């Protein structure tokens, strides 16, 4: 049913929850996972530190999925997640996108409790994917 499941991962706990769901679905359908981490185009952090952090984030997903025999392709990209995520979905040839409703924002991770985030709010990248993506999007809350 799903050959490639794309999971955008930002390093937040919420992103890892979405990756866990993607791994469960991949097990059931013998799917591959396209793990995507986007480096910010304009950041105060050095590119090297962003790249190292992104490699670690993707490696966690690959390691966890590998325990279940799931093949993972890691994609470490420099882009604008809000603007470019639909294109990234197309390039990974994903049949399904699994993304959490919330993620990080400029390395300040969203906290439902600390920021009074309601259950009805979703992040801008998730919202844009729901509106524009041509493949199914599973929104994890």
85: closest CA among 29, 8, 2, 25? 8
What residue ranges of the chain have pLDDT lower than 50? 105-112
Looking at residue 129, what is its pLDDT?
87
Looking at residue 120, what is its pLDDT?
62
Asked if 60 and 16 touch (Cβ cutoff 8 Å), the reply is: yes
Looking at residue 96, what is its pLDDT?
97
Looking at residue 107, what is its pLDDT?
41
Parent domain of 20: 4-140
- Total number of domains constituting the chain: 1
């Amino acid at each position: 049913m799903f050959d490639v499941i794309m999971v955008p991962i930002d390093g937040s706990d919420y992103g890892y929850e979405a990756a866990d769901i993607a791994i469960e679905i991949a097990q059931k359908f013998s799917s591959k996972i396209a793990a995507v981490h986007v480096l910010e185009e304009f950041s105060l952090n050095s590119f090297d530190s962003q790249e190292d952090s992104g490699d670690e984030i993707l490696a966690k997903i690959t390691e966890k999925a590998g325990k279940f025999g799931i093949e993972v392709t890691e994609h470490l990209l420099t882009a604008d997640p809000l603007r470019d995520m639909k294109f990234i979905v197309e390039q990974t040839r994903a049949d399904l996108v699994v993304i959490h409703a919330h993620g990080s924002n400029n390395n300040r991770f969203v906290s439902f409790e600390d920021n009074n985030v309601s259950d009805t709010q979703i992040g801008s990248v998730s919202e844009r994917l729901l509106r524009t993506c041509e493949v199914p999007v599973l929104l994890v809350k």
